[in-house]
Structure 1
């Protein structure tokens, strides 16, 4: 016997199949009935061969190993398509493999993009290991299998491993590297194909599907849209007219109830910040709400916060359509600078003969910039705007028309007195083809309003140290 005793043995007179529990596991085994003294039962060699328990001979203890994990059937998040080619134009049916459910449900082939984790041999563990008893492990495994089958949980990457999206984006960028920004835009698994006309578009779609098929990447047909002039992409409506907000997002903002806690304010601002590119003066309108979430501020929802909340909702609801930038059309840039901030609007003339905005810019001056004189602030507003939209404005064929309400900027190229800052600015401006046109402030409503927002305080310049009079060779004096 394992405990060192010698069992008594009598005549075997019967055989019985019994169910019993041992070490947290329920099992069934055949027993021979015989007098064996004080022992209730003896588990012999047949049982040992079948169950293969772990035996610690030094302590004379026996324990059962945990069964290897079984594959649990994970509840499907979506039902499989009965006809995966439904909604797919017939001309793309030759790529049926790309949309096939059978291929989609197979494991992908090994690629050189696969993530590998290199462990330092005998290196320290980054987190402690928590031991569990065999009974706890059995219970945990049963719980996991039940939840997986019910669809309440699903396998994910190990907590702390955050490189999967970046690795997949790198894979997609490498796969379509010669097509990116030519007629393909990719964000993770969202592929947008754009073309100037339908003939080119069909050719472009064929190229993308061919590459997906070669790389053994597959699409779900019901999630694909083909040959549209208006599509929702990453929360923005993209059409042949420009960029606009999704009606569902506008509706969500319209129906948003007034916040009653700091967390609810943070939630609303987080949602609204995504839409700020469509709203002029966004930061000005949202400032009372931003002030409310500061740690040192006590929660107090007053008429000022309610007005800011309502104005922000109204501005998002009435957000304009931002036009597409057309490199074949001339650009118009309206700039203005106030005591503490700059504002600008980039526009192009559309078919209706009017200027339509492509984007808005409004930001505060920082540090020493607040002390610049009016000429330098107005010139800095132009420079910041050109840098912000440099992907559109650098090296244009037609000169960019820049409207300013500072008359002296018309002659900036003729200036003969440069300091180091001016020299740097002139070097930067040499990359742009533009002409500056004077327009009185009354005619520059949009950029003027952006630069003179109430949240940009009209900060007076600091006192500046000037050279003493004694250093001048000639000093002119006047008497009043």
Structure 2
């Protein structure tokens, strides 16, 4: 490192008499003029003049600062050249054979010379584990290859099979020519090392290759079938957080990787045949443990814990094949490292020199943008507790969640936060803040128990919690827990408690927009103008947001725009009503159809219209054009069953006929027209996404001008007695007009023709329906079952409501309305349902005293549907699908027997019924 303001320059040793600095670099240094101009001769024979020098230029090498005087030369290839004067002043000696420079007194590092052309670059040698004197004393531990079969150890890898398991053998997988060539090579290597041997075992697993990062191929054995029938070893692997907690106070670390760790453990002799594998070149079996076996990690972890038992959690932590040695001082670490290597040698466990684990940090590129700087600063923010106690907790709660921060000596140890549970959302503010304290004490108990703790909260009354005379039952339980800790609750203003506050509160969309405004150059420019009072249309709100005509400016940030559109269109709190609300706030379409001519009217409206408003539309859009109808068939919408609508039709002598409940075939032509209109709306929505309602009259015109098979002509022609003059085909009809008696005669003929064709069409459609129709007839007093259906969206894993109840009852028939309709005696729970039903929804009830069905009554909705309810979860299982685990739960539904329980996806059930899963604790 160069001082005062340079950290990256090129140093070169060239064997020159004096040390020199380049012309570019000297411009940023303090220079002094020379008394005399010096002429410097270079190895290339060129002469250069030097008129200035830099005195006491500092060079830092491995923490040591060395001063040197540099002559200024007009050179551009190198920044600094260190000459013989600098080497002599620091008592440097050069070892040409080893290409090293040693200093006396030493600089605590070895500097080597790297050849390049005629000169030498001066660089620091990488300090690695292999260069440590302690490691050099144990060369037999760090071998390039394992010396052969491992010794018989206290632990051997055993395979315990489930009872009744028979040998499993699978045919070899097909391989490419390159894979077959590689297979032959690797099999020979394993044979030479003694790791495998020919086998005659009835077991056999196929072989496959997996490409490594460097392009080479790794030999893998597909032991999945064997793993399925192997009894699992539940030996616990340590938690990563617990391992980090052991490093308190440590400053020096060494990490050792084991070489081919699984090959250093033998297979139990009786279990060797079970891991046999088959290939194109023969049947073999492993004598040593191989990766891919289900219990391999647990067994090897057990072995390493036995080997290092006396050192564990003292200065060694283990995670499978990784050994981490930690110490507080270098001298202590040297002794610890020697003890570990001695143990490895005694147990004939071999290690390897791995590449640097901190290479990604040491070679981290210099940040060049604001985002990269923020990312770099946020990489390492947590510290390991040093064992001195005195922890500080900052806590905060909101209506969204709980958040807390654990700190020690001003450094963050851990963050914690979670969402509120459903019952916690009803807590008062005082209990919510106290719940955060309890949450922190529970989750960090391993840090806090027995230590002195200060807890800061922005809820002032909480500091008097220990002196409250009256506590509710919940607070009493929490007080009993808090009293086990040596803690003090202090008040901290909310504005200062920013970290815990951020953890507990979800940032609002408005806040995200305001933050993103600072990254938009256009808005930054407008903000500057607004602050200077030069942009009248722009202003700055009290929360710091930039406004345009009192509206918050949205920056050019794709993430913010996506979230904004999601909130506006898909959020459950502001669900976008669809295209119908885009311009004129229309939400519904009133469809009116003439039974004779099939002509239709599509009238847009709003769901907030009252019955009187619909009556006005009826008079202006229907009666004005067609007169008063003789009868009207409609559904049972509240607008059409209201007293106002009935009174209006009674005044005009129009008979009202309502379609039968849950039997759309009563008014089939209107239902069919609704389907056609939906298709037209979808097509129109693509062409006119924001103004479909203004094109509704075009849809009406297109429908009425379209040929109808039932009447044999277009509805327009049936209504007006002539073909429509389409705006698309102006010359299709011509200018011929029908006048006087000819018009009357042609109209009558058209009506007769329409009625005849309608009768033919109805007969044809009736014959289609009669094919599968079975006449049912009931008498007054009979009891029948009523057809119901589970709500849509209740999905089952592999089955969709097949076992759901399809009928409820029985109910007594009170009246026969006509040939196909009956009135039923419904219970009070179904009072909202119309009591007249089509015969197709009824099933005959046959009394049988021996057949008693006991079930909970269904909660039937007005549309004769019900929502299936989950009542119990009593089993759990994990299925594998394409190497992906799918957790399933066996659930019992209301009104079903235990035999009818179904397997469902656990994540779906947890999302829909979280309260049931709180009562169960599954162990997978």
Alignment match, 1:158? 223
Alignment match, 1:318? 377
Alignment match, 2:401? 341
8 Å CA contact 1:184, 1:193 repeated in 2: yes
Judged with a 3 Å threshold, the aligned counterparts in structure 2 of structure 1 residues 316 and 115 are, in CA distance, closer, same or farther, namely farther
Structure 2 runs not aligned, ≥5 long: 1-127, 190-215, 228-292, 510-566, 568-924
Cα distance between partner residues in 1 of 2:179 and 2:507? 59
Q: Does 1:195 align with 2:334?
A: no
Alignment match, 1:377? 432
Cα distance between partner residues in 2 of 1:211 and 1:343? 45
- Give the Å deviation of 1:417: 3.0
- Give the Å deviation of 1:446: 1.3
Alignment match, 2:778? none
Judged with a 3 Å threshold, the aligned counterparts in structure 2 of structure 1 residues 173 and 367 are, in CA distance, closer, same or farther, namely farther
Judged with a 3 Å threshold, the aligned counterparts in structure 2 of structure 1 residues 254 and 175 are, in CA distance, closer, same or farther, namely farther
Judged with a 3 Å threshold, the aligned counterparts in structure 2 of structure 1 residues 424 and 213 are, in CA distance, closer, same or farther, namely farther
Task: Please say which of residues 209-218 and 448-457 is displaced more in the overlay.
Answer: 448-457
Q: Does 1:210 align with 2:342?
A: yes
- Give the Å deviation of 1:210: 1.6
The alignment partner of 2:396 has SS state of: strand
8 Å CA contact 1:410, 1:437 repeated in 2: yes
Cα distance between partner residues in 2 of 1:400 and 1:379? 15
Cα distance between partner residues in 2 of 1:407 and 1:121? 64
Correspondence 1:98-247 to 2 at 5 A = 98-101=141-144, 104-119=146-161, 123-124=165-166, 129-130=170-171, 144-145=183-184, 152-156=217-221, 158-159=223-224, 160=227, 161-220=293-352, 222-223=353-354, 232=358, 246=361
- Give the Å deviation of 1:409: 1.0
Judged with a 3 Å threshold, the aligned counterparts in structure 2 of structure 1 residues 87 and 323 are, in CA distance, closer, same or farther, namely same
The alignment partner of 2:412 has SS state of: strand
1:97-152 deviation line (CA, Å, top 9, x unaligned): 212346x3322112232221234686345x664499xx99xx99877315767963
Alignment match, 2:390? 330
- Give the Å deviation of 1:324: 2.5
- Give the Å deviation of 1:416: 3.1
Whose strand fraction is larger, Structure 1's or Structure 2's? 2
Picking from 460, 473, 488, the partner of 1:407 is: 460
Cα distance between partner residues in 2 of 1:195 and 1:418? 48
Cα distance between partner residues in 2 of 1:416 and 1:374? 19
Cα distance between partner residues in 1 of 2:498 and 2:412? 13
Cα distance between partner residues in 1 of 2:459 and 2:376? 34
1:163-202 deviation line (CA, Å, top 9, x unaligned): 2122212222232233222211222222111111112111
Picking from 66, 73, 89, the partner of 2:132 is: 89
Cα distance between partner residues in 1 of 2:148 and 2:382? 43
8 Å CA contact 2:316, 2:325 repeated in 1: yes
- Give the Å deviation of 1:158: 2.8
The alignment partner of 2:294 has SS state of: coil
The alignment partner of 2:223 has SS state of: coil
Higher relative contact order (CA 8 A, sep 6+): 1
- Give the Å deviation of 1:314: 7.7
- Give the Å deviation of 1:217: 0.7
Higher Rg of the two aligned structures? 2
Structure 1 runs not aligned, ≥5 long: 1-84, 226-230, 238-244, 256-309, 350-354, 458-480
Cα distance between partner residues in 2 of 1:215 and 1:455? 59
8 Å CA contact 1:336, 1:404 repeated in 2: yes
Picking from 474, 483, 487, the partner of 1:421 is: 474
1:30-50 deviation line (CA, Å, top 9, x unaligned): xxxxxxxxxxxxxxxxxxxxx
8 Å CA contact 1:148, 1:154 repeated in 2: no
Picking from 482, 491, 496, the partner of 1:443 is: 496
- Give the Å deviation of 1:438: 0.7
Alignment match, 2:264? none
The alignment partner of 2:399 has SS state of: coil
Cα distance between partner residues in 2 of 1:424 and 1:152? 60
Cα distance between partner residues in 1 of 2:376 and 2:129? 36
Question: How many residues matched?
Answer: 288
